[in-house]
Amino acid sequence: MYWRQGLMLHASAVVRQAGDNEESLQEEALLRRLSDELLPDSLREEEQFQLELERTGSASSVESLQSKDFESMSATELQSAERMLRQLRLPVEDLPSRRFRSGSRGPRLDMRATLRSALRTEGMLSLKKQMRIKRQAPIVVLCDISGSMSVYSRMFLHFMHAVSNDRDRVHSFVFGTRLSNISRYLRYRDVDKALAATAQRVQDWSGGTRIEECLHDFNRHWSRRVLAQGALVILISDGLDRGTGVGLQKEMERLAKSSRRLVWLNPLLRFDGFEPRAAGIKAMLPYVDDFRSAHSVKSLIELGELLRESTRHIAIGMNGTDPEVPWQGFSGLAYR
């Protein structure tokens, strides 16, 4: 009887343990489903990409894919490259604004805070300082979507979507035969929803190229709105324009004077024997600060390294202007 009771107790404990294990498994499955729902899309994609990297092989294959031309990639490779582009970030430095805040090492005396402190300490002065508030510098992206850029423009849209969701004050435009502002659509968190909305908004995919007319439209209607306060302009185009280059030179000059820095990304630079023979390229090239290639994931990674290592290209006004304020001493737009 004693052994029978012991066996019954042992069997009931095993049953309870099995029930607890089943409940714990159910709880783990529920927590896994909740984490999948609450986890942001970018982190979920990054986790899946890391798991795929561990499953498929070494880092050398990733480096090979990063260096491969977008035009020569297969459909599977393009999907992997798109996931890489979604993780890219542009390390653009913050710029000082006109506003000040209290700080221990500021260059300016905060007289109001100093007097308030003196009232509390019965006349004992403790000098308070002010320092400038820094804001994120605006980024303006102008992307060519003409027929000669059709393969690359798709990948650049993924890059623009990643930049738009990483920071504020990002303005995105695409142009072929007309200029289209797609900034609002690229702010969607879901990249598929963002690209679908962009495709419905833009009507001149893979068509002709009118860089001169599109830049004229941008300079006339958008430059004063989006290029204020030291904006960085990224122009993505092969520079193959239908015009003669005379009017394009004028528009590029105005764009360069209105921006803090003008970076031109051209997929044609992937060729070793590239020479600027086209009239459009000759007209645009003298007004850019940086002329870089953009044909692979690696070239866009190098763009981030360039922006991280470079110094500000800002000309400072005379007559005692503050070197921390890029627009002080100028009227209207910020000229270099």
Chain centre distance of CA 51: 25
Dmax over CA atoms of the chain, in Å, equals 107
Name the CATH topology of 137-309. Rossmann fold (3.40.50)
Domains of the chain, by residue range, sit at 96-135, 137-309
Q: How far apart are CA 176 and CA 210, in angstroms?
A: 6
Q: How far apart are CA 181 and CA 205, in angstroms?
A: 14
- Residue pair 207/147 in contact (Cβ under 8 Å)? The answer is yes
Q: How far apart are CA 186 and CA 158, in angstroms?
A: 9
Q: How far apart are CA 232 and CA 308, in angstroms?
A: 13
Q: Which residue has tokens 């504020």?
A: 168
- E strands of 128-244, at which residues? 129-136, 139-144, 170-175, 179-181, 232-236
> Sign of torsion, CA 286 287 289 292?
negative
SS3 70: helix
Residue-by-residue pLDDT tens, the chain, 336 positions: 433 444 344 444 443 444 445 555 555 555 555 444 444 454 455 555 454 544 444 556 788 888 898 988 988 888 888 888 888 888 777 767 777 777 777 777 777 877 787 777 776 777 888 777 777 788 999 999 998 898 898 899 999 999 988 888 899 999 999 999 999 999 999 999 999 999 998 988 888 889 999 999 999 999 999 987 788 999 999 998 877 678 999 999 999 999 989 999 999 998 888 888 888 899 999 999 999 999 999 999 888 888 877 544 433 332 333 433 332 332 233 323
- DSSP β-bridge partners for residue 171: 140
SS3 101: strand
